[in-house]
Structure 1
Amino acid sequence: MAADPLEAQQHSLVVPRTARYFQLGNLGTAKRLWVVCHGYGQLASFFVRHFRAVLEHAPDTAVVAPEGLSRFYLQGTSGRVGATWMTREDRLSEIEDCSAYLDLLLAQLLTYCPPGVEVTLLGFSQGASTLSRWLMRSSFTPARLVLWAGAFPEDVEPPAAQALFQRIPQLSYVCGNADAFITEERLQAQLEYLAQLGAKPRLLRFVGGHQLDAAVLRELAQ
């Protein structure tokens, strides 16, 4: 049956675009590389500043914070701007775009780093699910994955998730004790879900809400 010309037909076109990221430290001399993904409504330029605590503790580290491909005004049509990795609209395409972006970025970063650099991936809030979805699609295996105040996505194939956790040497989960989004009930549910997938995360807690914590970052940098 021919398409109704009065009904809108969705099509897709892959286009080149500019993605930005922010860096702390020197890639050329780094023994450790951290790739850190921000949460919903944040900008990488502000997010990366928290990781100065990592470089102060481990100066042989470089930190790179990619920024989500979609930006928007946080309130109304002016003022502060934030970024997001995905929304529910055309979600699968956004997931694939983010994964391709992170694949390309990591490949470029590794060409700048010394051979054998140790890679840590850290995702905060929405960034946790973004990194997880990327790793599900990527052949890359980091030395460590840190899920911070976020969730491992539930809409994934369990065998693929189990295979992912089998190949990752270290998994950490970090959460504040007063996080408005990750309540104690949600935290326990997340830990149970990870256990069902064969993951045994190291749990790190701190006094605070939905935020990064310098003391925990320094501990992870050890």
Structure 2
Amino acid sequence: MAADPFLAAQQHSLVVPRTARYFQLGNLATAKRLWVVCHGYGQLASFFIRHFRVVLEQAPDTAVVAPEGLSRFYLQGTSGRVGATWMTREDRLSEIEDYAAYLDLLLQQLLGACPPAVEVTLLGFSQGASTLSRWLMRSTFEPARLVLWAGAFPEDVESAAAQALFRRVPQLSYVCGDADEYITEPRLQEQLAHLAQLGASPRLLRFGSGHQLDAEVLRQLAQEPGPR
């Protein structure tokens, strides 16, 4: 007996408007530099952006914007602290397209509020590193700098798209702590080899700590002149 097709669940998708939030330090209208920074898994942008106060202390003409992942959840159980994520493995392609569209729209709005010659640095921490990378491969935007911090450049991408991305990014940095429990030394070397295969030659910055941001490295990045 043939199975009734109406008894089998059929997946459908519907694109809907929704509210995305982001947090800002500094003044967009007078900024000579704009940093867009993407948090890691389980973090909230409101807490993540606090680490970047040192950037404004070092370079007051900078504005920093931290978008937040579109999905939030309780970190433990059904109450208490809340975190956000950019994507999971469930319906992942739709989630990637959603956050790419979100970041496109946000960047367009930010650039419209900044002086025309503003220099843009994109920094992704942990999950935020792959988030920025996937977004940029879907975009035509050319940032002055891309900083991948304790995260991975995606492996499941087309080599041609990745190579095209690195050709249009003047400066690429990879930052990792010496005691990072996720990016161990073997994992770091694998990541650097992966980037080299794609034609990228990142500058490697290290610091003596674990899977976290580091104020001294942020100050160093903030005081460096942009690529010429």
Mapped partners of 2:122, 2:8: distance in 1: 44
Counterpart for residue 99 of structure 2:
98
Cα displacement (A) at 1:192: 0.4
Counterpart residue number, 2:168? 167
2:212 maps to amino acid:
Q
Distance between the aligned counterparts of 1:134 and 1:80, measured in 2?
28
Q: Pick closer, same or farther for the CA change 1:105–1:3 going to 2, 3 Å.
A: farther
Q: Deviations over 1:138-197 (max 9, x none)?
A: 010100000000000000000110111011000000000000000000000000000000
Matched, 1:33 2:34: yes
* In structure 2, distance between residues paired with 1:169 and 1:62: 20
Separation in structure 2 between the aligned mates of residue 97 and residue 2 of structure 1, nearest angstrom: 35
Shift of 1:2: 9.9
- Structure 2 residue runs of 5 or longer lacking an equivalent are 224-228
Counterpart residue identity of residue 174, structure 2: Y
2:20 — aligned with what?
19
Q: Percent identity?
A: 85
Secondary structure at the counterpart of residue 5 of structure 1: helix
Q: Match of 1:9, as an amino acid?
A: Q
CA–CA distance in 2 between the matches of 1:139 and 1:3? 46
1:96-135 equivalence runs, <5 A: 96-135=97-136
Partner of 2:90: 89
CA RMSD of aligned residues (A): 1.1
Are residue 70 (structure 1) and residue 71 (structure 2) matched? yes
For residue 171 of structure 1, give the secondary structure of its aligned residue in structure 2: strand
Q: Indicate the residue corresponding to 1:139 in structure 2.
A: 140
SS of match in other structure, 1:123 = strand
User: Given the superposition, is the C-alpha separation of residues 118 and 4 from structure 1 closer, same or farther in structure 2, using an over 3 Å criterion?
Assistant: same
Determine helix, strand or coil for the equivalent of 2:83: strand
Task: Write the distance in 2 (CA, Å) between the matches of 1:113 and 1:72.
Answer: 33
Distance (whole Å) between structure 2 residues aligned to residue 159 and residue 15 of structure 1: 32
Q: Distance in 2 between matches of 1:201 and 1:74?
A: 33
What's the TM-score once normalised by structure 1's chain length?
0.99
Give the equivalent residue in structure 1 for 2:226: none
Whole-angstrom CA distance in 2 between matches of 1:150 and 1:189: 12
Partner of 2:150: 149
Distance in 2 of aligned mates of 1:97 and 1:159? 23
* Distance of 1:160 and 1:122 partners within structure 2: 19
Q: Which runs of 5 or more structure 1 residues have no equivalent in the other structure?
A: none
* Residue-pair matches, total: 222
Are 2:11 and 1:10 aligned?
yes
Q: Which amino acid aligns with 1:94?
A: E
The residue aligned with 1:203 is 204
| Secondary structure of 1:175's aligned partner | strand
